């Protein structure tokens, strides 16, 4: 980069022994860099930044000199992203923060302006300033709420806006702050009432939007009920208004994304939003902007909007995902909106990661519908682009895409067969080895759904691709969801007698070891219940039951759980016994004799006195099994039905 003599002259003057000449040198430098990116770059290369920071922090420097240094640094920060990186490398943040302790308001303002410029740059790491819940709490504990609240009544619009923005940031996903804000009084008026006044139609759009965000965040944090009038009649309609095509692009984006966040967990708000101002149809315009006959006459604005149109598509997908999260009728309306499935499928291959993620989320939301899985998802062969997305995508997309795959593998989904034929087993088994627990859960969840009432070949493919070593790792996973879904997979693999015998003949030793480990471990009731249900299924096998009968350790564990204090575990253990002693089957007498010698019959008689009707019924059934009456409706327990994800 060319370094001119005049640029060097500016830097040399910063080292003059005369403080007055140094001050004049900084002022001249300030005038030289305004609007001149080349000059800014030259001065940075010549080492102006470390010297300016040194002068800014020296106690012997006059307040005027410190202020001028901060102004020049702020001007340098307004250049390129490389300029900001250079400033950060020189540790500018601590120096400017220290400057905020000065008693001089002009110097403080210059430091704040520079800090704001640096932190609005995308290259500045967020962790350098307060960004997380812990930092929100620090600000809260230091009286941020009380000190900012009175600024909402300032005569200056800019001050009111910055106060509003502070509250929106403080309240975001923070119940402690939000609960406090609800009860804060400003000039005798509660804060939520002030926010409601600020989102009225006669207020500036920026103020309406930010007030709506404050109320949205307080609602999501549990401080305001979802059926409160300030949410249903004020906040929600305001955010829908922001989605109108009369609004600027950034207003439409922020409005849609905030509305998506507001209604995401609440079915009633989703229903209200879906019928407010034809919102579902209104969002379709997000995909046509700017149009060839756009009313935008400002060339700069048109150029800006063309570069940012993808943000509209991202926001629309997010809002459609929230709208269709629960209600079947809303999903139907979304899918019937002009070319919507084509638009979502196209979104899966967009260059922007954020748009792709939003499109996958939208499809995932719509895939929680039996009807849509059988119709629209099949008509548009959604599984094809989804499998492509799963081949090579960042984790954030993989988590949502694999969740959606769980739904496409439900037994009533026409997509299940082609997905299986396209190598889904290997892909899902690969996900179970991910370091990301959400991907491990989704991989095993999808395999569980795949194994439900599956043919022997599919079950064998799953076991071969997964490997018993990986199965053991999953059964000892620290994530409870992974463990539960792995047990669900095992239970679905071990259903129907021929399948049980076949699988146990090849993997019986390892499966019995896994069952033993879980029953001996420190696990909750649900985990142990599922494990005992797996044992009950093994007990229904013709040859597989021998693996239980020849394992005294397992038999003692079943006996122990028959006497357990929790009814669910007692019932599951009794299912095992019922299948072992069924009188019609070969070897039943020997099995009954062994179990009688172990004292299990005595336990059954004790259970007959139980006040729990379920236990009494099961006890009666077990005696029927022992007597050999012609009645059979137990066998292996039903496999776990597939679940929407």
Q: Mind listing the pLDDT tens digit for each residue in 349-400? A: 999 999 999 999 999 999 988 888 889 998 899 999 999 999 888 999 999 9
- As a whole number, mean pLDDT of residues 602-618 equals 67
Strand partners, 186: 189
Q: Please give the pLDDT value at position 521.
A: 87
Which pLDDT does position 604 carry in this prediction? 76
The mean pLDDT of 171-183, rounded to a whole number, is: 93
Confidence bin at 285 (pLDDT 50/70/90): very high
Taking only the tens place, the pLDDT of each residue in 299-337 is 777 777 888 899 999 999 999 999 999 999 999 999 999
What pLDDT band is residue 294 in, cutting at 50, 70 and 90? low
Q: Note the pLDDT tens digit of each residue in 225-238.
A: 999 999 999 999 99
Is the pLDDT confidence value at 2 over 60? no
- The yes-or-no verdict on residue 615 having pLDDT over 90 is no
In degrees and rounded to multiples of 5, residue 186 shows phi and psi of -125, 115
3-class SS at 299?
Answer: helix
| Residue 501 in this model has a pLDDT that exceeds 90 | yes
In the chain, pLDDT over 90 holds for what percent of residues? 69
Taking CA 487 as the corner, what is the angle to CA 613 and CA 642, rounded to the nearest 5 degrees?
A: 80
Tell me: the pLDDT tens digits for 61-71?
999 999 999 99
Mean pLDDT to the nearest integer, 132-141: 80
Residue 629 predicted with pLDDT over 50: no
Average pLDDT over residues 237-248: 95
Tell me: pLDDT of 293 over 60: no
Cα–Cα distance, 425 to 387 (Å, whole number): 12
pLDDT at 30: 94
Report pLDDT for 642. 66
* CA 317 to chain CA centroid, nearest Å: 15
Tell me the per-residue pLDDT of 195-222, one tens digit each, with 9 for 90 and over.
999 999 999 999 999 999 999 999 999 9
Please give the structure tokens belonging to residue 284. Answer: 């379709």
Predicted confidence at residue 645, as pLDDT, reads 73
CA distance 448 to 327: 26
In three-state secondary structure terms, 165 is helix
| 115 three-class SS | helix
pLDDT at 602: 80
CA-CA distances (angstroms) from residue 170 to 135, 143, 182, 196, 261?
A: 9, 12, 13, 18, 16
d(CA 528, CA 496): 22
Q: What is the pLDDT of residues 35-68, one digit of tens each?
A: 899 999 999 999 999 999 999 999 999 999 999 9
Q: How confident is the model at residue 601 (pLDDT cuts 50, 70, 90)?
A: confident
Host H or E run for residue 351: none
Distance CA 26, CA 30 (A): 6
pLDDT at residue number 6: 67
- For the cut 60, the answer to whether the pLDDT of residue 3 exceeds it is no
Read off the pLDDT band of 1 (50, 70, 90): very low
% of the chain beyond a pLDDT of 70: 91
Q: What mean pLDDT comes out for the span 465-487?
A: 92
Whether residue 78 has pLDDT greater than 60: yes
Is pLDDT at 433 greater than 70 in this prediction? yes
Q: What is the pLDDT of residue 631?
A: 29
pLDDT band per the 50, 70, 90 thresholds, residue 630: very low
In whole angstroms, what is the distance from residue 439 CA to residue 458 CA? Answer: 21
Phi, psi (5° rounding) for residue 96?
-70, -40
pLDDT for the residue 82: 92
CB 493 within 8 A of CB 451: yes
CA–CA distance, 379 with 337 (Å, rounded to integer): 15
635: pLDDT strictly greater than 50? no
The first and second tokens of residue 196, run together, are 């409601």
Report the alpha-carbon distance of residue 502 to residue 589 in Å, rounded: 24
| In the predicted structure, residue 477 carries a pLDDT above the cut 60 | yes
The pLDDT of residue 157 is above 80: yes
Report pLDDT digits (tens) over 325-335. Answer: 999 999 999 99
Cβ(356)–Cβ(349) below 8 Å? yes
């Amino acid at each position: 980069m060319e370094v001119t003599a005049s640029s060097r002259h500016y830097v040399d003057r910063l080292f003059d022994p005369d403080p007055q000449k140094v001050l004049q040198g900084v002022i001249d430098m300030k005038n030289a860099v305004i609007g001149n990116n080349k000059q800014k770059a030259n001065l940075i290369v010549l080492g102006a930044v470390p010297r300016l920071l040194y002068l800014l922090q020296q106690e012997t420097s006059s307040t005027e000199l410190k202020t001028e240094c901060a102004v020049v640094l702020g001007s340098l920060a307004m250049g390129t992203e490389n300029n900001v990186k250079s400033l950060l490398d020189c540790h500018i943040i601590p120096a400017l923060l220290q400057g905020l302790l000065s008693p001089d308001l002009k110097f403080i303002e210059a430091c704040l302006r520079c800090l704001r410029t640096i932190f609005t740059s995308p290259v500045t790491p967020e962790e350098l300033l307060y960004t997380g819940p812990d930092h929100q709490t620090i600000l809260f504990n230091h009286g941020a709420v009380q000190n900012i609240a009175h600024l909402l009544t300032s005569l200056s619009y800019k001050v009111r806006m910055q106060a509003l923005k502070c509250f929106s940031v403080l309240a975001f996903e923070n119940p402690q702050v939000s609960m406090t804000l609800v009860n804060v009084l400003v000039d005798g008026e509660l804060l939520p009432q002030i926010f409601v006044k600020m989102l009225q139609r006669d207020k500036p759009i920026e103020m309406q939007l930010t007030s709506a965000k404050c109320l949205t965040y307080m609602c999501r944090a549990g401080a305001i009920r979802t059926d409160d009038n300030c949410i249903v009649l004020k906040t929600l309609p305001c955010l829908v208004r922001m989605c109108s095509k009369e609004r600027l692009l950034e207003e439409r984006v922020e409005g849609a994304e905030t509305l998506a966040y507001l209604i995401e967990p609440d079915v009633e708000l989703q229903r209200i939003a879906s019928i407010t101002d034809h919102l579902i149809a209104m969002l379709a315009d997000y995909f046509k902007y700017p149009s060839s006959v756009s009313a935008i006459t400002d060339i700069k604005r048109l150029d800006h909007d063309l570069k940012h149109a993808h943000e509209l598509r991202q926001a629309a997908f997010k809002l459609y995902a929230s709208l269709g999260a629960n209600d079947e009728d809303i999903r139907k309306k979304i899918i019937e909106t002009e070319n919507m499935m084509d638009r979502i499928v196209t979104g899966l291959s967009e260059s922007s990661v954020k748009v792709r993620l939003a499109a996958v989320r939208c499809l995932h939301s719509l895939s929680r519908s039996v009807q849509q899985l059988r119709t629209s998802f099949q008509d548009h062969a959604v599984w094809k682009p989804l499998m492509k997305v799963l081949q090579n995508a960042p984790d954030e997309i993989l988590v949502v895409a694999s969740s959606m795959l769980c739904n496409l593998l439900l037994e009533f989904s026409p997509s299940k067969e082609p997905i299986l034929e396209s190598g889904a087993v290997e892909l899902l088994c690969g996900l179970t080895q991910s370091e990301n627990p959400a991907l491990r859960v989704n991989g095993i969840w999808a395999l569980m759904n795949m194994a439900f009432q599956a043919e022997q070949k599919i079950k064998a493919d799953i076991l071969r691709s997964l490997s018993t070593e990986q199965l053991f790792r999953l059964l000892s996973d620290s994530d409870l969801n992974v463990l539960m879904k792995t047990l669900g997979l095992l239970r679905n693999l071990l259903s129907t007698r021929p399948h049980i015998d076949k699988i146990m003949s090849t993997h019986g030793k390892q499966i019995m070891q896994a069952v033993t480990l879980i029953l001996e471990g420190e696990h909750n009731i649900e985990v142990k219940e599922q494990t005992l249900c797996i044992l009950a299924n093994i007990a229904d096998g013709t040859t597989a039951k021998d693996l239980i009968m020849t394992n005294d350790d397992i038999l003692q564990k079943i006996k122990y759980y028959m006497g357990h204090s929790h009814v669910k575990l007692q019932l599951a253990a009794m299912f095992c016994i019922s299948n072992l002693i069924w009188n019609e089957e070969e070897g039943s007498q020997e099995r009954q004799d062994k179990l009688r010698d172990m004292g299990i019959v005595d336990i059954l008689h004790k259970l007959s006195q139980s006040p729990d009707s379920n236990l009494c019924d099961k006890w009666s059934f077990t005696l029927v099994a022992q007597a050999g009456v012609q009645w059979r409706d137990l066998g292996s327990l039903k496999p776990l039905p597939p679940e929407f994800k």
